[in-house]
Every structure is written in structure tokens, then in C-alpha cells.
Amino acid sequence: MSRASEILFNSRKVSRPSSLDCIEKIFDDFLEFHGDRCFADDCAMVGGIASLDGMPVTVVGIQKGHTVAENVSRRFGSPNPDGYRKVIRLMKQAEKFHRPIVEFINTSGAYPGKGAEERGQGEAIARCLFESAGIKTPIISIFIGEGGSGGALAMAAGDRVWMLENGMYAVLSPEGFASILWRDPSRSSEAAELMKITATDLLANGVIEKIIPEAPEGIENNVEYTTDFIKKDLIEEFKVLCAKPIDELLKERYERFRKFGEFEE
């Protein structure tokens, strides 16, 4: 098994810590908010307010389950438009009360159902990106597992983007890539290598700024090893980001993502 295939396997493990698991370990006094004030409360997206070392923060995350029943209820971590609109609502609330934002990402992609498309899945993802670009408070996005397609991209427009050691991020699944390129989904391992989906690849290409280490015995066997790193790094990074003037913060956020559209002649 190639390193990319191994990471893909690890990122999809049912035993891997979920967003709520990370929230419980990192923050104090988490209070979950529900609903998008438009249609429904999406169980695949969680969010609310919490305390980080005494500092009020807004936390949102894509939630997978650890059992079949929980995964079914949360659509295996594939949000509906209502989930992304919940994120927008909570981001705007964070901006109003000057709270930094932490986003946890773990999804194979946005939910592709008929109802999701009827309620504007593409528009909700685009709106989430649009609003993230201009939110006047710091945002840190963290890939804790799988990061697939626009469903992950909608949450990855932060001032800083970090990834766990066995996380991944790609424009589509390696199986989908192999099906399109070779019409053979069994070549997903080969596709994963070509797509450069690993944290090491993404750091080298400037897509992420930091790799969060995982315990050698497996993150599911020692969650605190990783969440302690995340907590310490969040506290340190928010001290830097919160000290920046808002205009400077937004300019740097714009320039961070604008560089991906620049090509040499």
C-alpha cells in the first residue's frame, strides 16, 4: 500500500475522532446551536460557542459518526445546504461579537441528494466561501480526516489552514478520479498518488500551513496527544491573528487564496 493510500484509509476510519470529539477535548463550555433559520437543522454540521483558554470562540465542524446508526443520521458527514447556511449564520454571529472561528473538516463531500440540489447546494457552498472571505474576525480551518471536493472547500477558506498527519484534501475522491481518468475505480491507489492529497504534499504546495502530529499508536488510541497540540497551537495563533488590524487580516486572507490563481508566463 502506498503512503497516499495508507493516509486515505486512515482518514476514513470510523474510529477516527469526530468534530465533536475534538471539540470536547479542546474547548470548555461548548454550547451547540441548531438550525439555519431558513429550512432545517442539519445533523451533519455542528456548531456553537465555546471557551478556549478563557477566550470566547465560535466552533463549527462537519460531523461523522462512529456507528452505523449515527452515520446514517448524519449522512456519513455529508452536509445539506442547511448545514452550510448554519455555518454562515454562526460566522456572522461570531463577527458581530468579535469571536475567532475554528472550523473542523471531515467529509467525503457535500450531500448529492435531490433535495439538497433543489435547495441550492452549489449556491450554499459558494455563499459560504464568499462570506468567509469577508468575515471580520480570524478563522482557522483544520482538516481532521477526509477532505473531499466542494463540501470541504466551503470550510477551508480560513486565515490559516491546518491538517492532521493522516488527513487528506482533494478535488474529488481518488475512486472518482480513477473512474474519470481510466474508467477503473480499482486504480484509486494510483490516483491517490497522482493527486497529491497528503498533508506533506499540501504543505509543500502551500495549501496548508501546518501539519498536526498524531500518536504513533494511532489517533483513535490516544486522542489527547493530537488535541493537546491543536489547543496549544490555536491559543498561540489566535494571539497573533487577533492582534492584527481587520483590514490587514482581510488583505492577507485575500492574498493567501489569490496566489492559487496566479500563473507564471
Give the CATH number of the domain where residue 231 resides: 3.90.226.10
Does any domain span residue 265? no
Does any domain span residue 251?
Answer: yes
49 within some domain: yes
Question: Would you say residue 23 lies in a domain?
Answer: yes
Confirm if 164 and 208 have CB atoms less than 8 A apart: no
pLDDT tens per residue, range 224-262: 999 999 999 999 999 999 999 999 999 999 999 988 865
**What is the model's pLDDT at position 2?**
80
Range of the domain at 56: 3-255
- Whether residue 216 lies inside any domain: the answer is yes
Tally the domains of the chain. 1
Instruction: Write down the pLDDT at residue 259.
Output: 87
Helix (H) or strand (E) holding 212, with range, is strand 210-212
**Does 261 map to a domain?**
no
Which pLDDT score, from 0 to 100, does residue 262 have?
59
Q: Give domain status of residue 204, yes or no.
A: yes
**Residue written as grid cell 495563533:** 237
Predicted local confidence at residue 265, as pLDDT: 44
> What is the phi-psi region of residue 216: left when phi exceeds 0, alpha when psi lies from -120 to 50, beta otherwise?
alpha
Where the chain has pLDDT below 70, the residues are: 1, 261-265
The total number of residues shown for the chain amounts to 265
Whether 20 maps to a domain, the answer reads: yes
